[in-house]
Amino acid sequence: MSDFIERAKFSCALGGALTTIEGIPRAVPIVHAAGGCASALSGTYNLAAGYRGIGYCGGNMIPTTNIAENNVVFGGEERLEEQIEATLKALDADLYIVVSGCQVEIIGDDTVAVANRYRNRGVVGASTPGFSGNTYKGYDAVMTTLINNVIERADEKDPAAVNILGVVPGHDVFFRGNLDEIRSLLASIGVKANTFFGTGESVAAIRGYGSASLNIVLSPQAGLDSAKAFEREHGIPYVTAEIPIGPTGTEEFLRGIARALNIDGAVVDGVVARETKVYYSFLERLVDIYADLDFQRWLIVAADSYYAHALTRYLANDLGWIPFVTNIHDIEEEHAQARYDELFRDVDSRHKPLVLFERNPSELLEEVRRAWPDNHNEKYYNALSPAYVVGSVTERGLAEKLGAGFLSVAFPVSNRVILNKRIAGWNGALTLVEDLITSLVSSR
């Protein structure tokens, strides 16, 4: 098991489960744990995910068994039954998902078995104790429960329908805007994307997602277990892809999906040509000020594997910034690190980025200082400047220490409000550029 973590950019499995459930319209979590877990964890993703909110039934509205010391001694299953019965009466929902905390799992309560007794009343269960893993683990536990117990078996598959996996609500602070963008991108090549958490989703719609013919996993760390469950339970294969950002990334994404679904490449050609033209018609408006003031920056990216390469490649290959260092904090296994490192081969600037897998934020600053020669009071010192840090709010201190520009994009983000903003696709990239450059002109 992994080591301690400094300033971890995660919650636990229960936190991941709750932020996932809060992403589903009219779904209600029932938490079998001590009284404080649910609202505290829900609060983490409300306050640190661009104020994403608490969904239909989050925060201190979350039904909780509120077990205490006596339950830890005597067991809490009876209390859970009472709480499920009471919740079914008190709260309206299209789906109730019982999830468990550390305390009850250690003492051996069988949360899922208790939940299953209420299956015919719209209740399902998932085991999500905090010690079982981080946010991703909770996301996959809830998704796997949906896949196994809620999504109906469909013999006939829709060749043009896909499910999007790996976009964890809140952990991708732009999740809803991104999913809406991905849906419209795929619609432009004739593919219907089921997003689970995007606009217009519902539990009724999710029940029918067994008829998709392909699952697309957009994260190297979240969604793979869910995709495997889909394959096992519903016979739906999966492909992995990267969140598309900007012209290069979005074209690659669409071509990959078109290949997997046997869609004519000419369809993609048309979309790419049209949208790239639109993209540059907007970006062109920035050209004069960009060139007159030299907005090219040395780039420092600190993000999870979901965003790190996609952001670096967009800012290097499309916007023309100089990728100095990219740190990925959420991959622990060495072979997985090596595999992710390979991705950076397609970063085509002359200066190649240093790719790091440091888990602790303070180590990134040390690495930057190691990788760039110190100023020994030289008269002519080649400084790492002008630089820009694209990361999470945790990197604000790093940016200040380096005297660099700063934008928070990856979780946690507590210094910006994100409603329907997105950074996916051609549209999202334009929003990202707006925000990056706004901070450079905000004092004018």
Partner 1 sequence: MSKYSDELSYGFTAALAPPVRETRIGVCSAYCGGCSQLRGDVNSGCAQLQRRKFDQSGGCQLNLASGIVSSLTNVVMITHSPLGCNSRYVAMGGMRRMMRASKGKADEEFIWLHTNMGELDVVQGGIDKLRKAVLYAEKQYHPEAIIIANGCVPGIIGDDIDSLCQELADQVSAKLVPIHCEGFKSRYVASGYDSAYHGVLRFLIDPYERYDKALNHASGSRDEGEERFRFKQSRTVNLFNVGSNSNGDEVELCRVVKALGLNPRFLPLHATLDELKHIGEAALNVSVCATHDDYLLGHLKERFGTPYVIDTLPIGIKNTNIWLRKIAEFFHLEEEAERLIALETARLEEALAPIKERLKGKSVFVGGGETRILTTAEFFHSLGMKLLGVKAHNVDRFVEDILENVTDGKLFVEVAAGMPAEELNILSRLKPDLYCGHAGANGWVTRLGIPTMPLFGQTLNYMGYAGAFELARKADKVLRNTNFAKNISRNVELPLSEAWMASDVKDNIKERENA
Residues 82-101 that bind partner 1 (CB under 8 A): 82-83, 86-87, 89-93, 101
397 binds partner 1 (CB under 8 A): yes
Candidates 15, 23, 198, 247; binder of partner 1 (CB under 8 A) is 15
Candidates 59, 75, 208, 386; binder of partner 1 (CB under 8 A) is 59
6 binds partner 1 (CB under 8 A): yes
383 binds partner 1 (CB under 8 A): no
69 binds partner 1 (CB under 8 A): yes
- Tell me the number of residues near partner 1 by CB under 8 A: 80
Query: Which residue in 160, 144, 255, 146 sits closest to 205, CA to CA?
Result: 146
Candidates 1, 200, 350, 442; binder of partner 1 (CB under 8 A) is 1
Of 132 and 240, which CB lies nearer to partner 1 in the complex structure? 132
Enumerate the β-bridge partners of residue 277: none
What letters, b where the CB count within 10 A reaches 16 and e where it falls short, cover 429-442? bbbbbebbbeebee
Measured CA distances, 153 to 6, 7, 24, 211 (Å): 43, 42, 20, 8
User: To the nearest whole angstrom, how small is the minimum distance from the Cβ of residue 73 to partner 1?
Assistant: 9
Q: Which residue has the tokens 């979590």?
A: 29
Helix axis angle for 224-234 and 135-149, nearest 10°, is 10
Of 22 and 242, which CB lies nearer to partner 1 in the complex structure? 22
User: To the nearest whole angstrom, how small is the minimum distance from the Cβ of residue 157 to partner 1?
Assistant: 33
417 binds partner 1 (CB under 8 A): no
Subset of 197-236 contacting partner 1 (CB under 8 A): none
Subset of 306-365 contacting partner 1 (CB under 8 A): 362
Of 269 and 363, which CB lies nearer to partner 1 in the complex structure? 363
Candidates 21, 98, 102, 173; binder of partner 1 (CB under 8 A) is 102
Candidates 8, 160, 203, 354; binder of partner 1 (CB under 8 A) is 8
Q: With contact defined as beta carbons under 8 Å apart, do 192 and 69 qualify? A: no
**Pairs from 58-63 (Cβ < 8 Å, separation ≥ 24):** 58/18, 58/22, 58/29, 62/18, 62/29, 62/30, 62/31, 62/38, 63/28, 63/29, 63/30, 63/31, 63/87, 63/90, 63/91
User: To the nearest whole angstrom, how small is the minimum distance from the Cβ of residue 48 to partner 1?
Assistant: 4
Subset of 33-52 contacting partner 1 (CB under 8 A): 34-44, 47-48
Candidates 24, 67, 123, 241; binder of partner 1 (CB under 8 A) is 67
Q: Which residue has the tokens 């999470």?
A: 392
What letters, b where the CB count within 10 A reaches 16 and e where it falls short, cover 258-286? bebbebeeeebeebbeebbeebeeebeee
Integer Cα distance of 224 and 341 in angstroms: 19
Of 386 and 397, which CB lies nearer to partner 1 in the complex structure? 397
Contact string 124-153 vs partner 1 (x = CB under 8 A): -----xxxxxxx------------------
